[in-house]
Amino acid sequence: MDNFLNFFINIGKLKDKKRRGWLTHQIDNCETTASHTFRLAVLAWMFGKRKRFNTEKMIKMALAHDLCEVFAKDETPYDPLLPANFNSLQDKKKTEMILSKWPKFSLVQKQKKSELKHKRECAALKKLTAKLPLHWGKEIMDLWNDFEFGLSREGRFMKQLDKAENFLQGMEYWKKYGRIKKDLWVRWIKEIFDDPVLLEFEKSIEKKLIKK
């Protein structure tokens, strides 16, 4: 039981871990990794049922997909370009300029960034689950890999659904603070979605939060 308790204490840290992407947008009182996971799990439950997918698997995948961030940093698409911190006025101005357009990297740069990210997160997840019974560690790792590589239809849908939750949160922050480049975000999300349910969801978000 001690090993389970230590695992639960570790994942509890995600309740307080503010998501770095929002901190770069100078949203101090922003969501945490755990709050993002909560809404993603509810989305997985309801949209998974609508798609007639394995909802239990999807909810578990939602709960598992960011557990690695207990020991791994929360990365953003802009990371190679951003300053080390956002405390100084100069760094904040530099960050604002970087966030004003979508980051562009070569295919080789994207592949290297993705490989390094996966390696860091995989190591972090193994560290987190190392003292759990083997079947628990294996299930968590299998769910995470399915999400990362789209090994099942549920995994492929969840990868897009994760972006959908992020888009919804971004548009909520844009409406509240006006610090999100909404046009960039709308263009980005439309390039990602190919599922009819998520395309409908995106239109509903635009109607509710942007065009109203």
Q: How confident is the model at residue 37 (pLDDT cuts 50, 70, 90)?
A: very high
The domain covering 2-210 belongs, at the CATH homologous superfamily level, to Hypothetical protein af1432 (1.10.3210.10)
pLDDT, tens digit, 9 for 90 and up, residues 186-204: 999 999 999 999 999 999 9
Residue with tokens 């083997």: 134
pLDDT of residue 44: 98
High-pLDDT (> 70) share of the chain, %: 89
On whether the CB atoms of residues 11 and 70 are closer than 8 A, the answer is yes
Nearest CA to 192 among 177, 202, 206?
202
What is the model's pTM? 0.90
Domain assignments of the chain as residue spans, ordered by start: 2-210
Find the angle CA(66)-CA(53)-CA(43) to the nearest 5 degrees: 45
pLDDT value of residue 77: 73
Return contacts of 55-63, CB within 8 angstroms, 24+ apart.
57/143, 57/152, 57/154, 58/154, 58/157, 58/158, 60/139, 60/143, 61/143, 61/144, 61/146, 61/147, 61/154, 61/155, 61/158, 62/37, 62/158, 62/161, 62/162, 63/37
**What does the pLDDT look like over 70-102, one tens digit per residue?**
999 887 777 666 766 666 556 667 677 767 677
Position 92 scores a pLDDT of 67
> What one-character-per-residue DSSP string does 193-205 give?
--SHHHHHHHHHH
